[in-house]
Structure 1
Amino acid sequence: MTTRLYRNAAVFTGDAEGPGCEAFAVRDGRILAVGELDPVRSAAGPEAEEIDLGGAFVAPGIIEGHAHLAMLGEALDKVPLRDCTTVAEVQQRLAEARRADPEATRLLGVSWRFDIFADGERPTAALLDAAVPDVPVLLDANDLHSVWANTAALRAMGIDRDTPDPVGGEIVRDEHGDATGFLLETAAIAYAWGYLARTASDEDRDRFFDNAFRAYLATGVTGATDMSTNDTDIAALRRRIDRDGRLPFPVRGHWLLTATGDPEADLAQIDRVAALRDELAGLPGAEWLGIVGVKFILDGTIDACTAAMREPYANGALPDPIWTRERAVPVAVAADAAGLQLALHAIGDEASTIALDAVEACLRRNGPRANRRPRIEHLEYVADDTIARMAALGVTASMQPVHCDPAVLDNWQAVLGDERALGGFPWHEFRARGVALALGTDAPTAPHEAPPNLFIAITARSALDRAREPYQPQRVFTPAAALAALTAGTARAAGMEAEYGRIAAGYRANLFALDANPLSDDPDRLLEARVLLTLVDGAEAYRYAP
């Protein structure tokens, strides 16, 4: 049994109030001891292999609090568009990608931003046809809640005048009833994502997960809560477990529910998810992959004016939620009764109100339950009464600092158009009320790298454009509190806190080493920082190679 002692490090154990340490020892995949060098060396014994970390900063491995693993892996194969500032730049990048791969049968892109369009303009197929007319082009928006498609893609998806809008979504049409090339919310899921799922092979899906695991390990992530788990994802992850006996790091899945409009069909989803959870729990490798809950997408996004708000947007729109209160509550109660954790996507203040009504219904109808731990995802704009209710109900706020990078907020603020534009992402209010916080990235809706996410959390500045002024800097976390919310906080939200999220004796030896110290260095160092080493169960899962 090999014991390794790691020394000459600045060790953050995961406790925002705890002391720093300089060494830790690992044996049999777990932390043996952590603290000052001499007592750790004594615990490790004279035969321990000693490793000098050269003064690196060490923290518990990040548990990605809100992940879309397969989608991130697929996005890493797509044409990146987040940095495009005009439609012309998007067109140019797509044309270049087409010329670089003339044999491709379709062209996929990701992360275009709404602020590339002038006021009143929207994505159209004609704009994409001007760049790439001959093969299907499908471009995911930065928020991953809408898709921009060219004419060839509309044909490939089978969308015509008679194609119905799904519950909670819209095929945007012109005055003649023809699809314009813009799919909103569940229309993007049903038609664009459905088309891609039907045409992807098992080899493609395996590659997507390979991409995602590799990318996350390189940024210090050693666990993830996946928020869009489905049949094909489970099959791909099980193939990997059957092959390797494990995953690169543990994954806890929330099954993505579909609002069908049929109460019986909605409820039937819960029975199926509960049965799958139990099946996976009985298979070899269950510690690496498990279903823990369900995810409701209650509303859309503010950028697309599809988030459910109490008051209208600047353009007068006041959209309905994707899951109405009447539809959501019975399904939430059934999921809770089955022991499934609720994850409720709620970006607008009306959606978060519906989410808390569902949680209250679970408490009222099902009574007390250990480790219920409901969570609301995103919470971009919330009312004060929502924060107070979350504190009273013990609901976790699952938020993503990279979603409020000032460089991506122009359209977000413009479509709100009033004082709400200055009241978003109120981290400080959640902290003040004692609401548990779990921080993630929601990749690929935002960059997946950990250091920029941490940078925004502690500065409210932009990781994409350093010239930008910070957005509401009174919101910021201390570095230690942000790190705790990225590690111990996300582990607790996923029910993993007994073994993950801390560097402490008996815990899994999942951690990463960084060449910048967030606790003491200028925060700007994080934008250039490199993860030097990532350990999973004490084994080297990533090492930086200059």
Structure 2
Amino acid sequence: MVTTIYRNATIFTADDAGSAGAQAEAFTVSAGRFTHVGPLDQVRADVAAEGGEVTEVDLGGRFVGPGIIDSHTHLTTFGEAVGKVQLRDCRTLEEIRQRLLAAHRADPGAPRILGASWLFDAVGGEHPTAAMLDEALPDVPVYLDANDLHSVWVNTAALEEMGIDAHSQDPVGGRIARDAEGRATGMLYETAGRQYARNFLESLSTPEDQVRFLELAFEAYLESGVTTVTDMAMNQADVAAIRALIARDGGLPFPVTAHMIIEPGADTVADLAGIEEIVALQQEIAVGPEAEWFRIAGVKFIMDGVIDACTATMRVPYADGTNCDPIWSAERLRPVAQAADEAGLQIAMHAIGDRTSEIALDLLEDCARRRHPRRHRVEHLETVTEETIGRMARLGVTASMQPVHCDPAIMDNWKSVLGDHRSEEGFPWKQVRDAGVALTLGTDAPTAPHEALPNLYIALTGGSAMSPELPPYHPERAFTPEEALTALTAGGAWAGEMERLRGRIRPGLEANFLVLDADPRQEAPEVLLSTQVRSTYVRGVQRHRR
């Protein structure tokens, strides 16, 4: 068996300060795992004493850290979004129209136009409508995912091909925007977007399409230094694609942990049946050939929407006086969450509004009283009270947050719809850290850019990776480099219940690591915006090289 010594590098292990690994000059990899970490002379002596073939790799003084763990992403949706018309940088409605027209001219035979990542700011003070899109493309169906993936904007041709009319029902937790006569006007909010638009489009895709989407996502992530992800809303089609990829290739480019999405069904009986199906699938995969690469950890409940669309549930109404009920009421979710907890599923709750996070903690505290210790988590926490943060610490609930969601370039609408002091109190990273809450950082791709280094830049500065000239959003909340790097690596392993496998450069763990030209702990944060990942290793194998 060959042992490889990696040396001449600035090594960040993500281990506790003061440990042997914290002063590492070198590390070794054998059979896909780290085997030694420490001073170079000691590493060489230990390897020589073991015998066997030895090679050495000089890393040229570059920075080495554990592979990034994106603890909140949507793999298939992200891969699919890569091929859609990109709209995040459009600042006006006319720019969006011109981008869509250009796509149509480039492929006039395409049966429909699919776009991604448009911002509410681009439409100004108006509500997006089908008529706005009809002016550019009246005859070709147009489907545009909002930047946050919680709304879909469509034109009249799309409404017609989906069969949405004045008689179409709003699903539980969703809404079809309508005019005074009840006619659909082009916006599908929350579960309406998923159950009408996304389910319709998914019905048109093939299993081969789903595998191709995964391949695109894996490739993009490896280029960004990501070596593990937690997918936060998998469905049956996603799982089938993962299994097909493993069957074809004998594995995945890197390991995947998944939370299965469950939305309110016809009644609680249907919801509980959904939990039983997830448990059965989890157990089937755990004893099958996919288990080495793929694991179902738990269940994902989307409890509310997003602030930009005023669909997140707030303690105090938005600036326009409106508010929104949760997608899952506490009464409806309680028996379902209890069933998931008792079955050993990790619960992840999407909670963006400050009222929603209170409800989430009530339910998780109820689960804790039943004496089933689990590592449950709350996703996003864009607005949250200090009391809720304290409760998270006491209950051992993990905070899963995404710095890219508060890039100042996309914050104007977010702040304006809140309209008061809350607009300056969002994304409370420092309060979460100070309270001792376990913390992990992700991207939520494709609702935000997937690249790890711009995400790290925002965490370090509160500034904008999209428009660096903009003033930062409350930089006093920012992380130190060590805090942010740990949250992006070991924090993701903890949140995903995989700290015994990966997340640090430590003997016995999988040899997942990245190599950078810049040291995030020493360079100015702005350097990260132009730094690229030189190489990415998964289980000791170089999967990406610049």
The question of a shared fold, defined as TM-score above 0.5 by the shorter chain, is answered with yes
Cα deviations by residue, 1:282-336 (Å, 9 ceiling, x for unpaired): 1112021111100000000000000000100000011100001111111101100
Cα deviations by residue, 1:445-490 (Å, 9 ceiling, x for unpaired): 0000000000000111110111111111110110001000010011
Distance in 1 between residues matched to 2:275 and 2:283, nearest whole Å: 12
Q: Mapping of 1:97-112 within 5 angstroms?
A: 97-112=103-118
The one-letter code sitting in structure 2 at the alignment partner of 1:26 is V
Q: What percentage of residue pairs aligned between the two structures are identical?
A: 57
Match of 1:44 in 2: 47
Which one of 70, 75, 89 corresponds to residue 64 of structure 1? 70
Match of 2:37 in 1: 34
Q: 3-state SS of the aligned residue for 1:210?
A: helix
The one-letter code sitting in structure 1 at the alignment partner of 2:82 is L
Match of 1:326 in 2: 331
Which one of 496, 499, 503 corresponds to residue 498 of structure 2? 496
Match of 2:271 in 1: 266
Count of residues in correspondence between the two structures: 540
Contact 1:533 1:540 in 2 (8 A): yes
Contact 1:4 1:44 in 2 (8 A): no
1:17 maps to 2:17: yes
Offset, 1:261: 4.8
Distance in 2 between residues matched to 1:194 and 1:160, nearest whole Å: 17
| TM-score normalised by structure 1 residue count | 0.97
1:515 maps to 2:517: yes
Distance in 2 between residues matched to 1:499 and 1:253, nearest whole Å: 16
Match of 1:124 in 2: 129
Match of 2:396 in 1: 394
Distance in 1 between residues matched to 2:45 and 2:88, nearest whole Å: 51
Q: 3-state SS of the aligned residue for 1:172?
A: strand
Cα deviations by residue, 1:52-100 (Å, 9 ceiling, x for unpaired): 1112111101111101000000000101100000010000000001100
Distance in 2 between residues matched to 1:324 and 1:285, nearest whole Å: 35
The one-letter code sitting in structure 2 at the alignment partner of 1:323 is W
Match of 1:470 in 2: 472
1:205 maps to 2:210: yes
Cα deviations by residue, 1:326-348 (Å, 9 ceiling, x for unpaired): 11111101100000000000000
Distance in 2 between residues matched to 1:446 and 1:44, nearest whole Å: 44
The one-letter code sitting in structure 1 at the alignment partner of 2:410 is V
Distance in 1 between residues matched to 2:524 and 2:165, nearest whole Å: 55
Q: 3-state SS of the aligned residue for 2:416?
A: helix
Offset, 1:397: 0.3
Contact 1:73 1:212 in 2 (8 A): yes
Which one of 367, 371, 375 corresponds to residue 371 of structure 2? 367
Structure 2: unaligned runs, 5 residues or longer: none
Distance in 2 between residues matched to 1:132 and 1:53, nearest whole Å: 53
Q: Mapping of 1:156-167 within 5 angstroms?
A: 156-167=161-172
Q: Mapping of 1:42-441 within 5 angstroms?
A: 42-45=45-48, 47-119=53-125, 121-364=126-369, 366-369=370-373, 372-441=374-443
Q: 3-state SS of the aligned residue for 1:311?
A: coil
Offset, 1:134: 2.3
Offset, 1:125: 0.9
Contact 1:329 1:357 in 2 (8 A): no
Contact 1:32 1:43 in 2 (8 A): no
Structure 1: unaligned runs, 5 residues or longer: none
Offset, 1:15: 2.4
Match of 2:527 in 1: 525
Distance in 1 between residues matched to 2:193 and 2:409, nearest whole Å: 25
Contact 2:512 2:540 in 1 (8 A): yes
Contact 1:16 1:480 in 2 (8 A): no
Distance in 1 between residues matched to 2:182 and 2:400, nearest whole Å: 39
Distance in 2 between residues matched to 1:163 and 1:455, nearest whole Å: 45
Match of 1:536 in 2: 538
The one-letter code sitting in structure 2 at the alignment partner of 1:492 is W
The one-letter code sitting in structure 2 at the alignment partner of 1:194 is N
Distance in 1 between residues matched to 2:25 and 2:120, nearest whole Å: 46
Cα deviations by residue, 1:180-225 (Å, 9 ceiling, x for unpaired): 1110000000001101110001111011000000011110111111
Distance in 2 between residues matched to 1:477 and 1:7, nearest whole Å: 28
The one-letter code sitting in structure 2 at the alignment partner of 1:465 is S
